[in-house]
């Protein structure tokens, strides 16, 4: 059986045009997603395999994308590890019982994804059976998960996280190790459930200084990815540039690039590792011709080998659907 376009690109093969998918491609910018979301809560949607598959496939059908990424949330494993996760309407995630001490870290339960994350794994199995294109899995990277767990939710400055990290580095490393092992097992289970590739999201690693990134977030991401076999592993951080020259140390097969990073420069620094990205998500608000010009500039800079087209971060809820259509059209008409 011939490999799909996305699998070939993730493995660094030369192809006529890059495959395309979008981070957060199933989401609030789609009216059909909002219609499903009206029936349930955000967590309810994540934990209902049938509904999760439905929203997973919505953008694939509407835009003819080259991959489906399973609809889920990076924080689900933390709830399974013993810290209750809540989503309050309009407020984002919160953990009422944050992790702030070495004893808190030791109190975390180990994760058995087959026991603790049955619903998202079932959703991947269903999606793999029903999707016209390959299905991708994902998880949050250890440092990014630690941020939410220590802070007790989102934050601008991550003060509690960094205070814990610099005050009790051994306990913080213990936390990262536990999260890395949990996330690694979860990604492996996703591949066994049918994901053809997995992405590790290290969204908040870019709040760290270079030294802290290399000392904490990077080894934890490497440890998580080291548990994963049998499918390409993509590593994404929202701020790749400060760390570009060390990102291969994560051991990832593919490096996701944020939109600030210059694609041509990244190719020079990274060498021949496949890359993913990296249009500015807000460029989708531009006129179609301008979107086309920008997409083609990225394809040209990335070259014909080992490039998966994507945004440099997730689609924002206000995004006009015409912008998404224009980007997909620009990719599909490349070289035609």
* Residue 314 near a second copy by CB under 8 A: no
| In the complex, minimum distance from the CB of residue 100 to a second copy, in angstroms, rounded to a whole number | 13
**Closer CB to a second copy, residue 199 or residue 261?**
261
* Residue 154 near a second copy by CB under 8 A: no
* Residue 321 near a second copy by CB under 8 A: no
**Alpha helices in 210-304, H assignment, sequence order:** 210-212, 218-226, 263-270, 288-302
* Residue 152 near a second copy by CB under 8 A: no
* Residue 271 near a second copy by CB under 8 A: no
Helix 218-226 with 169-193: angle, nearest 10 deg: 30
Interface of this chain with a second copy, residues 163 to 202, rule: CB under 8 A: 163, 166-167
Between the alpha carbon of residue 176 and those of residues 52, 64, 149, the distances in Å are 28, 38, 11
User: Is 24 noted as a catalytic residue in this protein?
Assistant: yes
User: Is 272 noted as a catalytic residue in this protein?
Assistant: no
Interface of this chain with a second copy, residues 200 to 239, rule: CB under 8 A: 206-213, 239
* Residue 283 near a second copy by CB under 8 A: yes
One residue of 104, 122, 181, 280 binding a second copy per CB under 8 A? 280
**Cα distance between residue 231 and residue 192, in whole Å:** 10
Residue 263: CB atoms within 10 A of its CB come to 22
* Candidates 27-35, 43-51, 119-127, 279-287; binding stretch for a second copy (CB under 8 A): 279-287
| In the complex, minimum distance from the CB of residue 315 to a second copy, in angstroms, rounded to a whole number | 11
Cα angle value 255/21/179 (rounded, 5°): 50
User: Is 73 noted as a catalytic residue in this protein?
Assistant: yes
**Closer CB to a second copy, residue 102 or residue 282?**
282
**Peptide bond preceding 275: is omega within 30 degrees of 0, i.e. cis?**
no
Torsions phi, psi of 67, nearest 5?
Answer: -155, 150
Catalytic residue among 17, 33, 66, 148: 148
| In the complex, minimum distance from the CB of residue 241 to a second copy, in angstroms, rounded to a whole number | 4
Question: Hey, what are 166's tokens?
Answer: 């610099």
**Closer CB to a second copy, residue 39 or residue 265?**
265
Reduced DSSP (H G I as helix, E B as strand, rest coil) percent helix, strand, coil of the chain, to 5:
50, 10, 35
Residue bearing tokens 């494993």: 77
**Cα distance between residue 304 and residue 12, in whole Å:** 9
**Which residues does 145 contact at the CB level (< 8 Å), separation at least 6?**
74, 75, 77, 78, 179, 183
* Residue 242 near a second copy by CB under 8 A: yes
* Residue 260 near a second copy by CB under 8 A: yes
| In the complex, minimum distance from the CB of residue 168 to a second copy, in angstroms, rounded to a whole number | 10
137 close to 198: Cβ distance less than 8 angstroms: yes
One residue of 86, 241, 273, 321 binding a second copy per CB under 8 A? 241
**Closer CB to a second copy, residue 192 or residue 329?**
329
Residue 320: CB atoms within 10 A of its CB come to 12
* Candidates 25-33, 89-97, 130-138, 255-263; binding stretch for a second copy (CB under 8 A): 255-263
276 secondary structure, DSSP code: E
Number of residues that make up the chain: 336
User: Is 148 noted as a catalytic residue in this protein?
Assistant: yes
* Residue 261 near a second copy by CB under 8 A: yes
**Closer CB to a second copy, residue 262 or residue 329?**
262
Residues contributing to the site for a second copy (CB under 8 A): 157-159, 162-163, 166-167, 206-213, 239, 241-245, 259-262, 265, 278-283, 285-287, 290, 294, 297, 312, 316, 318
Which residues are annotated as catalytic?
24, 28, 37, 73, 148
């Amino acid at each position: 059986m011939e490999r799909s376009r996305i699998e070939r690109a993730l493995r660094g093969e030369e192809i006529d045009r890059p495959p395309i998918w979008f981070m957060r491609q199933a989401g609030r910018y789609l009216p059909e997603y909002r219609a499903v979301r009206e029936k349930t809560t955000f967590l309810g949607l994540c934990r209902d395999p049938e509904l999760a598959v439905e929203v997973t496939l919505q953008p694939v059908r509407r835009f003819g994308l080259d991959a489906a990424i399973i609809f889920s949330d990076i924080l689900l494993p933390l709830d399974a590890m013993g810290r209750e996760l809540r989503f309050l309407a309009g407020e984002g995630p919160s953990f009422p019982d944050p992790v702030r001490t070495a004893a808190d870290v030791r109190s975390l339960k180990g994760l058995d994804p087959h026991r603790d994350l049955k619903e998202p794994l079932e959703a991947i199995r269903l999606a793999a059976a029903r999707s016209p294109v390959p299905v991708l899995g994902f998880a949050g990277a250890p440092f990014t998960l630690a941020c939410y767990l220590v802070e007790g939710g989102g934050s601008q400055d991550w003060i509690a996280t960094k205070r814990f990290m610099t005050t009790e580095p051994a306990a913080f490393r213990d936390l990262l190790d536990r999260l890395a092992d949990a996330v690694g097992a979860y990604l492996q289970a996703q591949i066994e459930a049918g994901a053809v590739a997995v992405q590790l999201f290290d969204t908040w690693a870019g709040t760290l200084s270079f030294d802290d990134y290399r000392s904490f977030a990077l080894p934890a991401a490497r440890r998580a990815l080291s548990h994963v076999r049998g499918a390409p592993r993509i590593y994404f951080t929202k701020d790749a540039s400060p760390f570009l020259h060390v990102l291969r140390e994560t051991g990832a097969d593919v490096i996701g690039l944020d939109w600030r990073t210059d694609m041509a420069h990244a190719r020079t620094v990274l060498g021949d590792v496949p890359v993913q990205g990296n249009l500015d998500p807000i460029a989708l608000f531009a006129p179609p011709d301008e979107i086309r010009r920008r997409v083609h500039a990225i394809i040209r800079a990335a070259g014909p080998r080992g490039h998966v087209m994507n945004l440099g971060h997730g689609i924002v809820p206000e995004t006009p659907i015409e912008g998404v259509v224009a980007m997909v059209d620009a990719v599909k008409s490349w070289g035609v």
